[in-house]
Structure 1
Amino acid sequence: MVLSERIRSFISVDIEDPLILDRIERIKETIVATNADLKPVEKENIHLTLRFLGEIPVALIDEVYRVMLSVKMEPFEIEIKGVGAFPRITSPRVVWVGVTKGSDKLREIHRQLEAGLRKLGIKPDSKGFEPHITIARVRSARNKQRLVKVLYELEDVEIGKIVVTNIRLKQSILTFKGPIYKTLREVKLG
């Protein structure tokens, strides 16, 4: 890599528990069955984004890693529950599964990351942070009403619990088949 090169990147909690991934897959199958115009997230790409960084210089990777190392948080449990959509269920653009228990700790990690990233000159996250795991993107309004109905039916679905033990800096390589995520750095909590 050339030092002036830029990479598309984000900091995440990867979802790796096979049982949780299988449950998310079943939810994706249910929403895909609506025949809505969706782009589901591939199973191997399922994650919870703590902070999307966008295009950053390769030279900043180690600085971002140092910010990640400065996060003060012990491992903790999160509960993954419920299906929703941004901006809202009735106008879905992004379909997600939510986080109930542990969302306060994810917000605290996000807050600590924001403080450190700001010192590196990375602009603050303008959208705010709502812990979620994106499972599909809606491409058009095709069969929207059917999709909305199913989203309401899945609003309280219980998916399971996982223990968050690490956070990762990931590179997102965009290809015509979809993004490929590559772990650049990993920090264990605690």
Structure 2
Amino acid sequence: MRVFVGLDLPPSFQDELARLVARARAASRADVRPTRPGAWHLTLAFVGEIPAERINVLREALCGVRHPVFPLTPGGFGGFPDSSRPRVLWVGLAQGGVECAGLAVKVREALAARGVACDDKPFVPHLTVARVGSCGRRDIEPWLAAMAATRWPTTLAREFVLFESQLGCGGPVYGKLAVFPLDGGDDGQEPPGLAQTVDRRETGAA
């Protein structure tokens, strides 16, 4: 199974992404492949391929992670490996980046303590908007302009998710294997134990 840990983003973010994509596509013919609204997420830790029988080990490790609820607001944008000739266009975080980084550290440490290795790339909180083919900065200016003009809502990150990613010819299909509430919900009480979700599948771009 190909798995990762991340934040599932709310419909308000997905709707804004759909509007961004529509504006950029109308103004550009660049070779840009947007991610699919409805499958947007923020990756905290990418585990990769793991035997199915090890999934319970991941669940148990992540169930012990404690982190407070925090506000999340997208803002800023750029490209990987750089903005002059990017392969990926992304939106950063105007609010919640530090908290995301702290949660990512806790997730990775919890998994490492159970012998589960994650990718060793430095954590950069970002939301992938699109992948870019063979085009330069001038070609993607409409996309950058649309990203700069987008006004994102603020939400509360209340949980993180263990996702499965199934690769297919139409792009990856993401499924929730388990959901882990963060501490400090509306009632200020400790969150309940993890809630497992195994029947949801969403199509998106990796």
Is the TM value for this pair above 0.5?
Answer: yes
Answer whether contact 1:9 1:54 (CA < 8 A) is retained: yes
User: Which residue, out of 135, 138, 152, partners 1:142?
Assistant: 135
* 3-state SS, counterpart of residue 182 of structure 1: strand
User: Which residue, out of 2, 10, 28, partners 1:8?
Assistant: 2
- Whole-Å Cα distance in 2 between the matches of residues 127 and 69 of structure 1? 24
User: Which residue, out of 156, 159, 164, partners 1:171?
Assistant: 164
TM-score for both structures, normalised by structure 1: 0.87
* 3-state SS, counterpart of residue 160 of structure 1: coil
User: Which residue, out of 119, 124, 133, partners 1:130?
Assistant: 124
What residue is the counterpart of 1:44 in the other structure? Answer: 38
State the AA in 2 paired with 1:82: G
User: Which residue, out of 83, 93, 99, partners 2:87?
Assistant: 93
| Higher share of residues assigned strand | 1
- Whole-Å Cα distance in 2 between the matches of residues 156 and 88 of structure 1? 20
- Whole-Å Cα distance in 2 between the matches of residues 31 and 126 of structure 1? 33
Matched-pair identity in %: 29
* 3-state SS, counterpart of residue 121 of structure 1: coil
Q: Over aligned residue pairs, what C-alpha RMSD do you find?
A: 1.9
- Runs of 4 or more, structure 1, over 4 Å off, are none
- Whole-Å Cα distance in 2 between the matches of residues 90 and 25 of structure 1? 24
Greater relative CO (CA pairs within 8 A, separation 6+): 1
Answer whether contact 2:48 2:118 (CA < 8 A) is retained: no
1:26 aligned onto 2:19: yes
Answer whether contact 2:5 2:45 (CA < 8 A) is retained: yes
TM-score for both structures, normalised by structure 2: 0.80
What are the ranges of 5 or more consecutive residues in structure 2 without an aligned counterpart?
184-206
* 3-state SS, counterpart of residue 50 of structure 2: strand
Answer whether contact 1:89 1:151 (CA < 8 A) is retained: no
Q: How many residues align?
A: 182
What are the ranges of 5 or more consecutive residues in structure 1 without an aligned counterpart?
1-6
Answer whether contact 1:12 1:49 (CA < 8 A) is retained: yes
